[in-house]
Amino acid sequence: MLVFGLLDTLLPINTRVDYSTVVTAADSTILQAFLNRQDKWRMYAELPEITPTLRSAIVYKEDRYFYYHPGINPLALIRAAGKNLFSGRRTSGASTITMQVVRLLEPRQRTYGSKFIEAFRALQLELHYSKDEILQLYLNLIPYGSNIEGLKSASLLYFGKPPKLLSLAEITTLAIIPNRPSSLQLGINNAYVMQERNRWLRRFGEAGLYENSVIADALEEPLTARRREAPRQAPHLSLRLKQANPGMPIIRTTVRPAVQAAAGQLVQNYVNRVRALNIHNAAVLVINNQTMAVEAYVGSADFANALDGGQVDGVRAVRSPGSTLKPMLYALAFDKGLITPKSKLNDVPTNFGGYEPDNYDQRFNGAVTAEFALANSLNIPAVKLLKEIGTPTFTGLLRKAAFTTIRKQSKDLGLSMILGGCGVTLEEMTRLFTAFAHEGQLKGLNLTVSASSGEGTRLISPEAAFLVTNTLTQITRPDLPNNFDNSYHLPRIAWKTGTSYGRRDAWSIGYNRHYTVGVWVGNFSGEGVPELSGANTATPLLFQLFNTIDYNSAKGWFLPPKGLASRAVCPESGQVPGEFCTGRAVDYYIMGVTRYQRCRHQKSVFTNPAGTLSYCAHCLPDRGYVQRHYPNLLPELIAYYEIKRIPYAAIPVHNPACERIFEPGTDQQAAPFIASPNNRSEYFIDPKAPADMQLSCQTGNEVRTVYWYLNDRLYCKARPTEAVFFKPRPGVLKISCADDRGRHSDIRVLVKSL
């Protein structure tokens, strides 16, 4: 015993086995299996998969006294030695299941010395492992011919089912093959295999191992075994998890097979329909909002399609998000008290220091509410909000949400990021939208059953999350697919679409209480397609997914949080009604956060009775004047009305006889804003043929004339909305604009020669 203990310490048995990686769904269904490093199918069978029927059949056939001997069977050894001695050749090896495990772990030549070593190793196994663990190891290593090893591999590849679902006839078939894998070849010699199977079934019956009725049924069962392909569901997710968990024999994902199969089929069918439009791929991610479990992961339409990049994982590919980040920007603006759903934002042509964004339909809408701007995905209001909030603040929020590419790009990102000028992945975007379903709390995704989403990170308030959800639930919006509501059941979801620059990416992300689903459609090559858009390309697939996996959801809908209240506002401005407000509208606001501002959409002006002259307090006559109300419009909105020839009530020209030029307190606020050229910008010209440079400004609606100065010399006078042109010369140029009230503003630009 001392010698055995010393040898056991010095020469420990190595039971490490290189198994195939098996990726399973949440219900243990096998999604995908991979060859091991020796290119063998050797799948790991767990103890619960070894059913009593399987255990009794294997033990009876291979080693009836398995549960009684210490690894070697002395009686079997004596019997085998006698047979070999009298026959003059090896007729029996007397190997127990434990000794066979040793031989499978450490293959050796069949000699008496090898048998002695196997006996020693068998005793070691019995010392360190239980009988069930040894039987499990045996079933994981027995050969089935070709590159198939282990009963689980044979069960899956020959019968298409896991071991726990095998019938007695199938178990018996797999039990007899390891002894003669070359002659008992499933799918080739099925008739001979069936003959041998039935012979052993009768022996089981004679031994009383199973009831006679069970044996009779097994004898009648046909043998239809054939070599099958290994399962290949969720290939992108399976590869991802295999690379992240090297050497792990079984990886249990949160995927639900029914949801995964439905999503994969819908994606494939949809891409087949739009392929005629030169659109070749799509990706989908389905997240359960209650558990943060990923229930479907479709990286591409067809993994096997190498021509269209089918092996690219579209869930993790970095793409331009288009307008899909806007809901989070509006939520941030709600939380900072800058706006409410009824607040008015101006959707007019605007120059942001040389950046002049346009809307998707290349139209402008003038003054619109914040909820209209978000529901219609207007670009100018979004860029204005981002400018007011600050790009660093918004990128900080996205870094907090673990946007990897934005974390790397944050120093280089500008206002264009809100329109798609940054890199994101479908996984990041879909996870971000779960925050709206979790009252502003962002939690981690669970790809495996052992993962935990944790407590999460607070991104926005529950109130802001509800306001965004309430807006994105509206169906009277342009990103509703054409005629979709006439052809399909429209799911009750909140959703947002996005289309990247050049129509390279189409996005649609939707959510309800149960699921958040992200859809990306496009080409992995980056090729743009004129017909590609979030509304008409990605949203139909999004609706089909919700109608398939969560039709008529019983999870209820989102309720307003306690910190949200409603109040009466002026419909002209979305602010608290002032003295000139006649109408009323109801608007949500966040208590203690939203700004309290009185509406000033109109102002009182003294004019002559004809309404052709206006007076300030300095030149107001003693009599013969009237008080009128005029809209208090921002210069940018006035310029838009003038360009579009939209009628509005303009303040009359100020009394020319007035000796006082400035109005107290209004000098800086009312000064003309020079919209073109851009302050502190550099312009390059061809000295031989210099191009004209445009001068344009925005003023208050009481201004009728402006005066342009170049390097402090009068250049011309013009109407505020009139475009003025001049030929620049190289050098520093000071440009000034003064209005007919004496207010002025200056900028400087640098003109260089090419």
Quick check: 283 and 271 in contact, CB under 8 A? no
Q: Any idea what the Cα angle at residue 534 is, between residues 528 and 538, rounded to 5°? A: 95
3-state secondary structure of 434: helix
What's the CA gap between 739 and 194, in Å, rounded? 102
Q: What is the H or E stretch that residue 158 is in?
A: helix 151-159
Quick check: 448 and 252 in contact, CB under 8 A? yes
- Cis peptide bond N-terminal to 672, omega within 30: no
Active-site hit among 238, 323, 696, 736: 323
Q: Any idea what the Cα angle at residue 340 is, between residues 337 and 346, rounded to 5°? A: 105
- Tally of CA atoms within 13 A in the half-sphere of 129 that contains its CB: 21
Active-site hit among 49, 62, 427, 428: 62
Find the length of the chain. 754
Quick check: is 696 catalytic? no
Structure tokens at 520: 């990306």
Q: What is the H or E stretch that residue 193 is in?
A: helix 190-206
**Is residue 110 packed enough to be buried (19+ CB in 10 Å), middle (13-18) or exposed (0-12)?**
exposed
What's the CA gap between 297 and 314, in Å, rounded? 10
3-state secondary structure of 402: coil
Quick check: is 62 catalytic? yes
Task: Please compute Rg for the chain using Cα positions.
Answer: 39
Q: Which of 151, 134, 132 is nearest to 100 (CA)?
A: 134
**Is residue 312 packed enough to be buried (19+ CB in 10 Å), middle (13-18) or exposed (0-12)?**
middle
Quick check: 300 and 312 in contact, CB under 8 A? yes
DSSP 12-33: -------PPPEEE-TTS-EEEE
**How distant is the alpha carbon of residue 509 from its chain centre?**
8
Structure tokens at 399: 């870094």
**Is residue 10 packed enough to be buried (19+ CB in 10 Å), middle (13-18) or exposed (0-12)?**
exposed
**Catalytically active residues, by annotation:** 62, 323
